[in-house]
Amino acid sequence: MIIVMKHGSTPKEIERVIETIHKEGLKPHVSKGEETTIIGVIGDERKLDPVPFQLLPGVDRVIPVLKPFKLASRDFKPHDSVISVNGIYVGGKNFTVIAGPCAVESVEQVISTAKKVKNAGAVILRGGAYKPRTSPYSFQGLGPAGLKILAEAKKQTGLAVITEVLSETDLSSVAEVADILQIGARNMQNFALLDAAGKQKKPIMLKRGLMSTIEEFLLSAEYILSRGNHQVILCERGIRTFEKATRNTLDISAVPVIKKLSHLPVILDPSHAAGYQEYVPALSYAAAASGADGIMVEVHPHPEKALCDGQESLTPDQFKLVMQRVKAIVKVVGKKLSIVS
Ligand code: PEP
Ligand code: MN
């Protein structure tokens, strides 16, 4: 249920609605806009059925939310959420480019890539210190040593950093370095992790699960939002279909669908969707044209030597070329490339 207050409703009237919600054992979520205040109700709304909210002073209307997610929904927040990450904006009219290697491998690998992707127009550096790998025998990431390398890259280039957190246990150490915490596709329904991510302050980029519907995706985002962290960025990274020519199938239609249902920014990951370097440029252009809020691209100085996902990684030179066309498309769709302000 969403309670929309009248323009000019008084703090006392707002407080009364909040108290009424508390009294029924539910949690209010207050969103103060420039003109109106909107109060969302979190919890089992059936308890509120007998409460005639529309009769309380200052209440304009009461909207039942039929969708299973509330805080993630556009009904709750009609305008796009714009998330600020160290002076970079994600969402709204901004198109944000994140790039870097799949995994942090060495100081030299990360720093040389960071400098080059920054030069080509990326504003956030990606790189996994902790890697979720299908096989336990594959490279699992450098762990804490990888975080140190990311911190050094941040210091040297000024780029913001996104890196994956695999479990609640690592959350605070990863959050010390990361400007955005990534929750990967395989952890999209790790509810303990979502819960912990929602209780801390760093922005989260939540990747869509390999086999998850858009509704499940938004419900996972709802976990984080409902725990108090409103800085959530969604990432579509391809879903598993019957098609074997690509690693996954980029669900480009997820962009307009999510944009209709939710106010949260949506980033596309052409690298994990394609799985092969040669398809990454086309999917990047499609992402820019789709109205997405940005892309996250894997770039490695020597893809043939990469310890993880080399086959889908662009070289810095290839990335630079892709960015030239991405910039042109971003302009056509009425967005602007995020820059460090
Ligand atoms: C990644 O982006 O590093 C990653 C592991 O991707 P995904 O979770 O989408 O597979
Ligand atoms: Mn990867």
Tens digit of pLDDT per residue, the chain (341 long)? 889 999 989 999 999 999 999 988 888 999 888 888 999 988 777 777 767 888 999 999 998 877 889 899 998 899 999 999 999 999 999 999 999 999 999 999 999 999 999 999 999 999 999 999 999 999 999 999 999 999 999 999 999 999 999 999 999 999 999 999 999 999 999 999 999 999 999 999 999 999 999 999 999 999 999 999 999 999 999 999 999 999 999 999 999 999 999 999 999 999 999 999 999 999 999 999 999 999 999 999 999 999 999 999 999 999 999 999 999 999 999 999 999 87
User: Which residue, among 233, 180, 239, has the nearest Cα to 209 in the 3D structure?
Assistant: 239
Instruction: For residue 308, report the distance from its CA to the centre of ligand 2, in Å.
Output: 6
Under DSSP, is residue 155 helix (H, G, I), strand (E, B) or coil?
Answer: helix
Q: Which residue has the tokens 């901004």?
A: 94
197 φ, ψ to 5°? -65, -30
Contact 164, 186 (CB under 8 A): no
Residue 209, phi then psi, degrees to nearest 5: -65, 155
Tell which atom from ligand 1 comes closest to the C-alpha of 235.
9
Domain definitions of the chain by residue range: 2-63, 83-337
Q: Is 3.20.20.70 the CATH classification of the domain at 83-337?
A: yes
> Any idea how long the chain is?
341
- Which residue's alpha carbon is nearest to atom 4 within ligand 1? 184
Quote the tokens at residue 275: 């799985």
CA distance 262 to 265: 8
Task: Please check whether residue 255 is in contact with residue 95, taking contact to mean a CB–CB distance below 8 angstroms.
Answer: no
| 237 ligand 1 Cβ < 6 A | yes
Look at residue 44 in the predicted model and tell me its pLDDT.
75
From the CA of 164, give the closest atom in ligand 1. 3
Find the 187 Cα to ligand 1 centroid distance in Å.
Answer: 10
Q: CATH code for 2-63?
A: 3.30.70.1140
Q: How far is the CA of 298 from the centre of ligand 2 (A)?
A: 7
Tell how strand 2-5 and strand 59-63 pair up: antiparallel
CB-ligand 1 contact for 132 (6 Å cutoff): yes
Q: Are 161 and 177 in contact (CB under 8 A)?
A: yes
Q: What's phi and psi for 308, nearest 5 deg?
A: -155, 130
User: Which numbered atom of ligand 1 lies nearest the CA of 298?
Assistant: 2
- DSSP category for residue 106: -
SS3 of 42, please? Answer: strand
Name the β-bridge partners of 43.
Answer: none
Long-range pairs, 14-17, Cβ under 8 A, ≥24: 14/39, 14/58, 16/56, 16/57, 16/58, 17/53, 17/56, 17/58, 17/59
> Measured in angstroms, how far is the CA atom of residue 324 from the centroid of ligand 1?
25
Enter the tokens of residue 142. Answer: 């450098």
Closest by CA position to 128, among listed 166, 94, 175: 166
Would you state the pLDDT for residue 64? 81
Q: Name the residue among 137, 136, 138, 165 with its Cα closest to residue 150.
A: 165
**What pLDDT score does 4 carry?**
93
CB 249: neighbour CB atoms within 10 A?
A: 15
- Helix (H) / strand (E) element for 157: namely helix 144-157
Q: Are 2-63 and 83-337 in the same CATH fold?
A: no
In the prediction, which pLDDT does 335 show?
98
Which ligand minimizes its atom distance to the CA of 236? 1
pLDDT at 43: 78
258 token code pair: 């999510």
Q: Which helix (H) or strand (E) holds 51?
A: none
Ligand 1 contact via 102 beta carbon (within 6 Å) = yes
Q: What share of the chain is helix, strand, coil (3-state, %, to 5)?
A: 40, 20, 40
